[in-house]
């Protein structure tokens, strides 16, 4: 497929020490230092809400709770330019297991073994759909580099407590993000090519924000629901067909054997 595995994000977090800086510092930084420039423009209307969430995360840490993902990764989904997004994949909230969450929905740190069961099912469907073999690692960063926005509805979680940061202020921010992706217009006034992949009820909640964006939807890949419509749904080939129908190239869904 002519895959290039050494591509780098077009925007890197510009913090003085991105691995140790806290959420309190991030809450005071200009938005353009936290996300790619065009994302900063798109999220400007919810900048106040974003800073409130970062302050909340700082308070969580001050209270002795571990917040996932790390500060350097909490906005990872917004490192690639908004203009480059071709496919939107909506998740719920980050994995609550320490060491797993990396700021991209469904993706985990490349050292995580075994991969989460939902991701294992995604790999199983990827192989059935496109013949791409499952990988032992769960680093989906190359998808993000190729224009796949792996966006969780909620961008943080307290370690060990799934869903703990729902209703804490992320939802208006990710609503603005989805609206911005779906609302892009080309020079001729038409819609920029985009396909939304919605797995499960939580992801379906963003459908009203998508306007005329083509949607590929099915059950969630979780072991509890994958057999009820996710397996056999062929989301990857269907997304590529819909992209080509809009006059743009397909996504290369190949994943390197090693992270």
DSSP line for 179-241: HHHHT-B-TTSSBPP-EEEEESHHHHTTGGGSTT--EEEE--SSTTTGGGTTTT--HHHHHHH
The CA distance from 129 to 117, in Å, is 18
Could you give the percent of the chain with pLDDT greater than 90? 90
Q: What is the predicted pLDDT for the residue at 9?
A: 42
pLDDT of residue 179: 98
Tens digits of residue pLDDT in 182-211: 999 998 999 999 999 999 999 999 999 999
Q: 23-245 falls under which CATH superfamily? A: Uracil-DNA glycosylase-like domain (3.40.470.10)
Whole-prediction pTM value?
0.93
Domain boundary assignment for the chain: 23-245
Say which residues have a Cβ less than 8 Å from residue 227's Cβ, sequence separation at least 6.
none
Question: pLDDT tens digits, residue range 5-39?
Answer: 333 344 554 444 445 689 999 999 999 999 999 99
Cα dihedral 180, 202, 11, 26, rounded to 10, equals 100
- Residue 68: enclosing H or E segment and its boundaries? strand 67-68
- DSSP 8-state secondary structure symbol assigned to residue 250: P
| Tokens at 185, concatenated | 């217009």
Distance, CA of 153 to CA of 90 (rounded, Å): 7
Catalytic residues: 93
Tell me the per-residue pLDDT of 29-75, one tens digit each, with 9 for 90 and over: 999 999 999 999 999 999 999 999 999 999 999 999 999 999 999 99
Annotate 127-180 with three-state secondary structure.
HHHHCCCCCCCCCCHHHHHCCEEEEECCCCEECCECCCCCCCCHHHHHHHHHHH
Give mean pLDDT, residues 131-156.
Answer: 98
Report d(CA 229, CA 219) in Å as an integer: 5
- Strand pairing category for 157-158 and 67-68: antiparallel
Q: Which residues contact 72 (CB under 8 A, 6 or more apart)?
A: 13, 15, 18, 19, 21
Of 18 and 256, which is predicted with more confidence? 256
Q: Strand pairing of 87-91 and 148-152?
A: parallel
Distance from C-alpha of 209 to C-alpha of 133, rounded to nearest angstrom: 34
Of 19-23, 127-131, 153-157, 236-240, the range with the lowest mean pLDDT is 19-23
Q: Are 238 and 216 in contact (CB under 8 A)?
A: yes
Residue 82 structure tokens: 């908004």
Return the ∠ at Cα 90 (arms to 218 and 128), rounded to 5°: 45
Q: What pLDDT score was predicted for residue 21?
A: 83
């Amino acid at each position: 497929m002519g895959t290039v595995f050494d591509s780098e994000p077009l925007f890197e977090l510009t913090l003085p020490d991105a691995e140790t800086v806290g959420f309190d510092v991030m809450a005071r930084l200009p938005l353009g230092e936290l996300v790619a420039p065009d994302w900063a423009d798109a999220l400007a209307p919810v900048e106040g809400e974003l800073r409130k969430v970062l302050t909340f995360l700082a308070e969580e840490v001050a209270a002795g709770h571990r917040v996932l993902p790390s500060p350097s990764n909490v906005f990872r989904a917004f490192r690639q330019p908004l203009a480059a997004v071709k496919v939107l994949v909506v998740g719920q909230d980050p994995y609550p297991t320490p060491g797993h969450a990396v700021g991209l929905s469904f993706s985990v740190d490349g050292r995580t073994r075994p991969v989460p069961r939902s991701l294992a099912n995604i790999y199983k469907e990827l192989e059935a759909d496109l013949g791409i073999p499952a990988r032992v690692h769960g680093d989906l960063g190359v998808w993000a580099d190729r224009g796949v926005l792996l966006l969780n509805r909620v961008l943080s979680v307290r370690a060990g407590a799934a869903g703990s940061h729902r209703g804490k202020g992320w939802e208006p921010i990710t609503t603005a993000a989805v609206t911005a992706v779906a609302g892009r217009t080309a020079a001729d006034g038409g819609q920029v090519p985009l396909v939304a992949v919605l797995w499960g009820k939580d992801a379906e909640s963003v459908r009203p924000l998508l306007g005329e964006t083509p949607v590929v939807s099915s059950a969630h890949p979780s072991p509890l629901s994958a057999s009820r419509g996710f397996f056999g749904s062929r989301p990857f080939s269907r997304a590529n067909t819909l992209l080509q129908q809009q006059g743009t190239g397909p996504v290369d869904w190949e994943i390197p054997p090693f992270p």
